[in-house]
């Protein structure tokens, strides 16, 4: 199963200390993580900020280095890129962005959300 990682989902993984292995337990199949370049650019921009959000974005970038997702170049904004990629590849998405979640669900895309420490919900 391909799971596309959104900026908000990655930051929530850091905030709630969720391990990527939780996905494997939840879906009970091999998981292939994908991150789109616009998401990396968003995280890089946020990481330049001082404070908690900047630190969480830096940690999310380090998490990406550790899990080594497939990186896909797209030259549109992150939410549009995620929606387009998920529809084209039938991938699931990790996000806590309500507007994006609603749009993905409208297209029948499975959405994962980090709800609390070590707990990921599948919609």
Q: What percent of the chain has pLDDT over 70?
A: 98
Q: Read off the pLDDT band of 117 (50, 70, 90).
A: confident
Per-residue pLDDT tens digits for 8-31: 999 999 999 888 877 767 777 888
Q: What percent of the chain has pLDDT over 90?
A: 80
Give the pLDDT of residue 29: 80
Indicate the class that CATH gives domain 2-122: alpha beta
Q: Are 101 and 14 in contact (CB under 8 A)?
A: no
Give the pLDDT of residue 18: 86
- C-alpha torsion angle, residues 77, 60, 110, 32 (rounded to 10): 100
Strands of the chain, DSSP E: 2-5, 32-36, 70-72, 92-94, 111-116, 119-122
pLDDT at 118 over 70: no
Per-residue pLDDT tens digits for 58-91: 999 999 999 999 999 999 999 999 999 999 999 9
Q: Return mean pLDDT, the chain.
A: 92
Give the pLDDT of residue 113: 93
Fill in the DSSP letter of residue 107: T
């Amino acid at each position: 199963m391909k799971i596309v990682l959104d900026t908000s989902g990655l930051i929530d993984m850091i905030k709630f200390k969720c391990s990527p292995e939780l996905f494997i337990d939840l879906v009970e199949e091999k998981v292939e993580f994908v991150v789109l370049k616009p998401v990396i650019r968003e995280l890089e921009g946020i990481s330049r900020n001082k404070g908690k959000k900047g630190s969480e974005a830096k940690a999310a970038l380090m998490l990406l280095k550790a899990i080594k997702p497939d990186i896909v170049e797209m030259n549109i904004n992150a939410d549009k890129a995620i929606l387009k990629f998920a529809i084209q590849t039938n991938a699931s998405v990790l996000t806590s962005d309500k507007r994006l979640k609603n749009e993905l669900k409208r297209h029948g895309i499975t959405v994962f959300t980090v709800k609390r420490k070590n707990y990921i919900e599948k919609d």
